[in-house]
Amino acid sequence: MQSKPPRRRRLLWRYLLALVPGTLAVPLLGVALPLWGFFGMSVTALPSESWTRVTGVVTSLERGTRDAGEGALVHDPAGEGCLLTYAFVDGAGTERTASSGWGYENSEWCGLAVGSPIDVAYDPADPSHSQEDGRDAWEASMAVFDLVFAGIAVLFALSAVGTVLVVVGHVGNRRFRAAAGGGEPPADGSTPGAREGTSTPPPNVTV
C-alpha cells in the first residue's frame, strides 16, 4: 500500500491552544493561592470538630467598631460590626448564654435580629466554652477552591497538549519541506503537485 505524502500542518490553532489556556491559568493561580492560604489558616479560628454543634438563638446585638489607635472595642451605634450575644441548651438541658469571641469585627452578624437562629458549637467537656460555628461556611469556601484549582489544572493540561501539537506540527512541516525539495510549502496546506484542479506533469522523456 502506497503511503500518503506528508501534508503541511497548520500551526495557528496549535499555538493558540498552547498559549491561551496557560496565559489564563497563571494569573488565576496567582490570585487563588493567597486566598486559599488565607482561608486555610482561618480554620484555626473555628471550633474543634470534637465540639458539639447545636442551634442557638440570638439574644442581643450591639453595634460597635474597633478603635484605630488602641484596638479596643468601642460601642458605636453607627459601627460596621456587631457584638453578638446568644443562648443555647447544652446536652444536660442547661440553658447557657455567651457572647461572640470575635467582638465587633464580624459585620455579617449585623444582619441578624434578636430571636434569629444561629449555629453554635460548645465543648462537651466544658459547655461554658462555646462560639458561633462557621465550619459549614468554611467548608463551602474550601469546596469552591477545589473547583477553581481543578479548572486551573485543566487549563495547564490544555496548554501542555497544545505545546505537544506545536512540536508535532513543526516536525511534520519539516518532513513536508523535505519532500518538496526544500522549498516553502504551499500556503493552502496542500502537498506539492496535489492542489485542487492541478497535477504534476510527467517529466519529458527523450528517446
The pTM (predicted TM-score) of the whole model is 0.53
Whether residue 98 sits in one domain with residue 157? no
Biggest CA-to-CA distance, the chain: 117
List phi, psi (to 5°) of 90.
Answer: -80, -175
Of the candidates 204, 188, 205, which has an alpha carbon nearest to the alpha carbon of residue 196?
188
**Residue 108: domain span:** 47-132
Per-residue pLDDT of 54-77, as tens digits, reads 999 999 888 877 665 555 666 777
Is 196 contained in some domain? Answer: no
Whether residue 140 sits in one domain with residue 128? no
Q: What is the CATH number of the domain that holds 101?
A: 2.40.50
Per-residue pLDDT of 27-41, as tens digits, reads 999 998 888 887 777
Q: Buried (b) or exposed (e) across 66-101, using 16+ Cβ within 10 A?
A: beeeeeebeeeeebebbbbebebebeeeeebebbbe
